[in-house]
Amino acid sequence: MALFGQLGERLSTTLGRLGGRGRITEDNVAETLREMRVALLEADVALPVIERFLDGVKKRALGAEVVKSVTPGQAFVKIVHDELADLLAAGDPQLNLRVRPPAVILMAGLQGAGKTTSVAKLAAYLKANRKRVLVVSTDVRRPAAIEQLETLAGQVDVGFVPADGESPKAIAERALKQSRSQLTDVLIVDTAGRLHVDEELMDEVRMLSQVLSPAETLFVADAMTGQDAVRAAAAFNEALALTGVILTKADGDARGGAALSVAEVTGRPIKFIGTGERADALEAFDPQRMAGRILGKGDIVGLVESATQKIDKAKAEKLAGKLRKGKGFDLEDFRGQIEQMLDMGGIQSLMDKLPGAGKLPAGAAAGFDDKALRRQIAIVNSMTPKERHHPALLDGSRRKRIAKGSGTEVQDVNQLLRQFQQAQKMMKKFKKGGMAKMMRGMGGGGLPPGLH
């Protein structure tokens, strides 16, 4: 993910230099640790966190007995992976909802961190996990806050508690009463934010905590603000009994320092990471898997989970049945596969989870972003149904018309058709269709090399 992009590349390059060494020595460990220190400083990781991390790596590396079948480089990567996972872990990342319903989740944080959108994303996540959810905003100072949450609640189809001129305490008490009467499983409470930490804000959040007795009190931190997010998290942790952190805007151009520092500084685990604007762009946090992604080892478990949750099984079965009957793979099917890829989070999300994707040559994935996928969908949409089912009809004049209708160039149409032809050839080799097979068959100018 963008959050760890540069850091992951630097660490992978540094660790790669250790590969091929005859053995792990104090000298080559010291050299590697120096390079890692620079990478972590550039990623805006807090200095005490860097010292603790590198000290742990050094102790384990110099005390390690390298198995004969494993190269020193591989052994050192394992050590760094385990230390990274320890650094990211600060307790159980799972939500604790094993309380008498409703389990209250109190959301705290500074203004602009994405608190309200995170409330809606978390509600959607819990609903997908078969929880009955109710949301409420106690932010009476920002006029649009309550309306914003009401709109978002409607979009994710969860219950919403309105407010009209009441105090935050009165809103919270009424929401709790309503949640109990409606037998909801979870009540998520949005709170007021500020541009910076102040005593009035803390007093209000403390009061709401006393009224609601939350099962979870989550601090919402903006990954883009780096160490400011860590300092704010520490301040809230002193005022409240925080149980965890939601890190937002992880898809932005952040350096990753906040993620690597916040758990260590607060002693509270990161529980979720926001990876985009969509309602489903919220990932449950797993330290082991995130450490693997940072080091370019991918996250196959996360990829499978995403596929299981987001691939339209009915469409997949329909395509499989069509291919089993010997019917051709056409441009309608091709468009459906692209749409499912976007549903799984798009190119960047898939790349983050694939082992070795970070080792692609510079610029290998250039041009293969979600905008490019949406342009391809627009191109197919500009075709007639007959053209989609019979691509052989697409002569020069038809391609010009399609390019004009989709706001693209003729070469874009030609490129899409070349990718489609390669996918079509691969599909002929399979009796059953599927996303993974489709992805493997779209190489050679289609998708980035790491995806096939």
Give the per-residue pLDDT at 205. Answer: 86
User: 92 and 40 in contact (C-beta within 8 Å)?
Assistant: no
Pairing state of beta strands 282-284 and 270-274?
Answer: antiparallel
Residue where a domain stops, chosen among 88, 123, 138: 88
- Residues 282 and 308 occupy one common structural domain: no
CATH number at residue 199: 3.40.50.300
Query: Is residue 10 domain-resident?
Result: yes
Q: Both 179 and 282 in a single domain? A: yes
- Which segments in the chain show pLDDT lower than 70? 1-24, 63-74, 195-197, 225-226, 251-259, 293, 296-328, 343-370, 427-452
The three-point CA angle 342-348-352 to 5° equals 120
pLDDT 10s digits, 76-131: 777 877 887 877 777 777 888 888 889 999 998 887 778 899 999 999 999 988 99
Q: Answer yes or no: are the C-beta atoms of 45 and 261 closer than 8 Å.
A: yes
Closest CA to 6 of 263, 303, 253: 253
pLDDT of residue 115: 87
pLDDT at 185: 93
**Residues 93, 270: contact at Cβ < 8 Å?**
yes
Q: In this structure, are residues 244 and 220 in contact, taking their beta carbons and an 8 Å threshold? A: no
Per-residue pLDDT reduced to its tens digit, 255-287: 556 667 777 777 888 888 887 777 778 888 877
Domain that residue 392 falls in: 302-451
Could you tell me the two tokens for 395? 């002569």
Query: Rounded to the nearest 10 degrees, how much is the dihedral formed by the CA atoms of 354, 357, 363, 364?
Result: -70
Number of domains making up the chain: 3
For 353, the 3-state DSSP assignment is helix
How far apart are the C-alpha atoms of 188 and 10, rounded to whole Å? 39
Residue 432 domain flag:
yes
Angle value at C-alpha 144, between 141 and 147, nearest 5 degrees: 120
- The length of the chain in residues reads 452
- What's the pLDDT at 181? 92
Q: Domain containing 25 — which CATH number?
A: 1.20.120.140
Measured distance CA(146)–CA(151) in Å, rounded: 9
Domain boundary among 88, 122, 141: 88
Rounded Cα gap, residues 176 and 447, in angstroms = 49
Please indicate, yes or no, if residue 293 is contained in any of the structural domains.
no
Separation between Cα atoms, residue 96 and residue 234, nearest integer Å: 21
167, 172, 174: which is closest to 141 by C-alpha? 167
Q: Are residues 81 and 30 in the same domain?
A: yes
pLDDT at 365: 47
Q: Within a domain: residue 95?
A: no
Query: What residue type is assigned to position 6 of the chain?
Result: Q
Is residue 93 domain-resident?
Answer: no
Angle at Cα 10 formed by Cα 58 and Cα 304, nearest 5°? 95
Residue 314 forms part of a structural domain = yes
Task: Please choose, from the candidates 358, 377, 350, 376, the residue with its C-alpha nearest in 3D space to the C-alpha of residue 451.
Answer: 350
From 64, 88, 112, give the residue that closes a domain.
Answer: 88
**pLDDT at residue 356, rounded to an integer:** 47
**How far apart (Å, rounded) are the C-alpha atoms in residues 128 and 98?**
18
Pair 273, 312 in one domain: no
Q: Is the bond leading into 102 cis (omega within 30 degrees of zero)?
A: yes
CB-based contact 160:149 (threshold 8 Å): yes
- 223 contacts 231 by C-beta, under 8 angstroms: no
Cβ burial, residue 84 (10 Å; 0-12/13-18/19+): buried
267 belongs to a structural domain: yes
